Chains A and B, each alone.
Chain A
Amino acid sequence: MSKKLLLTYDHIEGINTLEVYKKHNGYKALEKALKSMKPEEVVEEVKKSGLRGRGGAGFPTGMKWSFLAKPEGVPRHLVCNADESEPGTFKDRYLMERIPHLLIEGMIISSYALGANTSYIYVRGEYYYVIKILQKAIQEAYAAGLLGKNILGSGFDLDLYVQPGAGAYICGEETALLESLEGKRGNPRIKPPFPAVAGLWGRPTVVNNVETIAAVVPILNISGEEYAKIGIGKSTGTKLISASGHINKPGVYEIELGVPVEEFIFSDAYCGGIRNGKKLKAVVAGGSSVPILPADLILKTAKGENRLMTYESLSDGGFATGTMLGSGGFIVMDEDTSIVKNLFTFARFYRHESCGQCSPCREGTSWMEKILQKFIDGKASMKDIDLLWDVQSKIEGKTICPLGDAAAWPVAAAIRHFRHEFEEYVNHPESIQEVQHYYRLNNIPV
């Protein structure tokens, strides 16, 4: 069983309350930081840990922190990105719902490290019940002197607020999130300037994912050096994986980076294998944006090595034969799954979520959905496969933010690895129509 640093106490009753959280090592890291460390020492510890952003991009957190501009007399902010909306990803929801104080403790320590006195947790609006859980936990923290003025007698002040989103995937992009937090449409900003220089209200700002901020707590508890010993190479520490799809045990798993993909899918400690005794067909390993891989390539690299759950191993082979760890949204498909139809749900998603600012993304996502609809309706021709390829290639790299890439990559990968299935939709549309109804496939009457 893998070492746990974040979900050590997630099943303890009442762990969502301050009292129980404190009994289980809670707020020890904060005490250590405030009483015995300078802010720059905290940053140094995070650098040593090798922690990489857990939202999807995997950028080294300590380095991101060190970019923060510190002009005299200008307030700085820490904003937690809890806009979790990448299809297949639900780990942040689990963490905030179960152990809200872990995030709050991480927010206080990180704010201290960055010199921020007002910080925000931006939570997607659909998670309103989680917002209520966080607000209650924040109230408890204020009452216990863990937030507000002069925290634990250290002289450090922090106000922490929760901000709701209102239904927009794009607000997970950090500059769109800041626009939204300023009360505007979530249109990503042109960079530079980066948020580290001009972020919230034009002030220097760091935006970090929920899991990233929570990971700062165990890093201080065990030390950055010890944290870096967990995992393999530049994939240090543990990662929360959201496992879903046709598996026996869907859910959130904390893994030590480096667990073999095969073990993750088939071991009873994790996904527990494929449902109903079916075979594995394909996996989307890191949320909807990353390239889908067929069973053989997700289990072994093109070189024949065992594929591991690390940033490096999953991306081995580039996009030709590899994928990405991304947000850790691990979607497993059994042998009956239509890759084309699944791709259609992704295409519809990106069309719905494009902010509309850049034409390649606004128009391209709409065209990709329309072309895929033709396949599903049995009206596509072979030329449409090439057209679809052409459209996706004209979005990638041509937009202000990565949503365009995120919309294009899954399309490219599906054609790259499953072209025969698109051809099947063209050649035998009648045989395709009836598949893909889970209930019917499993003889559940509709």
Chain B
Amino acid sequence: MTTADITFSEEAQQKVKDILSQYPADKSKSALLPLLHLAQAEFDGWLSVPVMDYVATILNIKPIEVYEVATFYSMYNLAPVGQYLIEVCQTSSCWMCGAEDILKYLEKKLGVPTGEISNDGMFQVKKVECLGSCGTAPMFQIGDKFYENLTFEKIDTILDELRKENKRSRYV
């Protein structure tokens, strides 16, 4: 796919207009982070080079200005991801309350190591740093949802429900 083949849906284009209206006309580069979130949600949960180039054309900036931002922030995925990206917090309080065991349980359950997409393409586990949910540790995030005070039984239920839902996790 090349950049010429890429366009936002009509709904997303309306969102682009709303986002751009938040900044002075000559400061539209400020829209870059929200636009990358939007692009990731629109195009299968990750940012390919043509997608990033497309965002550059919207903001009338050089592609490198998009790449340097996309590579800096951890929420932008630069390679294809599983339908549901399970982001497991590993820092301090979560670690103290069993995050490593949560990770092991997920690996056993999904049959692939952390970082790899499960064979059915449904899930991918990612280790992340503190998500600000320390009082409800251990926890993980899938899209914009926080799953807190995790137990193995809870994880079983969550995965079953997501399999039934069969969509793609998104933040936006």
Contacts and interface: CB of A to CB of B under 8 A. Distances in A.
Contact of A439 (B90, B101, B130): B101
Interface stretch (B4-12, B111-119, B139-147, B155-163): B139-147
B74 A168 contact: yes
Contact of A446 (B22, B37, B91, B104): B104
B89 to A, nearest CB: 9
Interface residues of B, number: 49
A51 B132 CA distance: 24
B47 to A, nearest CB: 11
Interface in B110-131: 128-131
A250 B90 CA distance: 18
Interface string B66-97: 00110011111000000000000011110111
Interface stretch (A237-245, A388-396, A421-429): A237-245
Contacts of B29: 182-184
B92 A125 contact: no
Contacts of B31: 183
A85 interface: yes
A129 B133 CA distance: 13
Given A181-B30, A446-B101, A342 B130 contact: no
Contact of B34 (A129, A163, A250, A333): A163
Nearest to B108: A446
B44 interface: no
A250 B30 contact: no
A378 interface: no
Contacts of A128: 37, 143-144, 171-172
A180 B33 contact: yes
Nearest to A162: B22
Which range contains the number of A residues in contact with the other chain?
A: 35 or more
B102 to A, nearest CB: 9
Contact of A132 (B65, B97, B128, B144): B144
A88 to B, nearest CB: 5
Nearest to A166: B73
Interface string A87-115: 11110110000000000000000000000
Given A168-B74, A446-B105, A183 B130 contact: no
Interface string B9-47: 000000000000010100101111110110000000000
* Most chain A beta-carbon contacts within 10 A, residue among B98, B135, B144, B172: B135
A341 B65 CA distance: 38
A346 interface: yes
Contacts of B135: 90, 242-244, 250-252
B69 A183 contact: yes
B93 A184 contact: no
Interface string A125-136: 111110010000
A182 B30 contact: yes
B134 A164 contact: no
B129 A352 contact: yes
Contacts of A165: 33, 73
B18 to A, nearest CB: 10
Interface in A58-94: 84-90, 92-93
A27 interface: no
Contacts of B76: 166-167
A92 B171 CA distance: 19
B57 interface: no
Contacts of A436: 95, 100
Contacts of A346: 91-92
B93 A245 contact: yes
A166 B134 contact: no
B51 interface: no
A125 B37 contact: yes
B74 A345 contact: no
Given A181-B30, A437-B98, A345 B146 contact: no
19 contacts: A85-B130, A88-B134, A90-B135, A120-B22, A128-B172, A129-B145, A163-B30, A164-B33, A166-B37, A167-B75, A184-B32, A201-B24, A244-B137, A251-B135, A331-B96, A348-B90, A348-B129, A349-B92, A438-B97
Interface of B: 22, 24, 27, 29-34, 36-37, 59, 65, 68-69, 72-76, 90-93, 95-98, 100-101, 104-105, 128-137, 141, 143-146, 171-172
Interface of A: 84-90, 92-93, 120, 124-129, 132, 159, 161, 163-169, 180-186, 201, 242-246, 250-252, 284, 288, 329, 331, 333, 337, 341-342, 345-346, 348-349, 352-353, 355, 436-440, 446
Given A92-B132, A126-B131, A183-B31, 5 more contacts: A125-B33, A128-B37, A164-B34, A181-B30, A348-B90
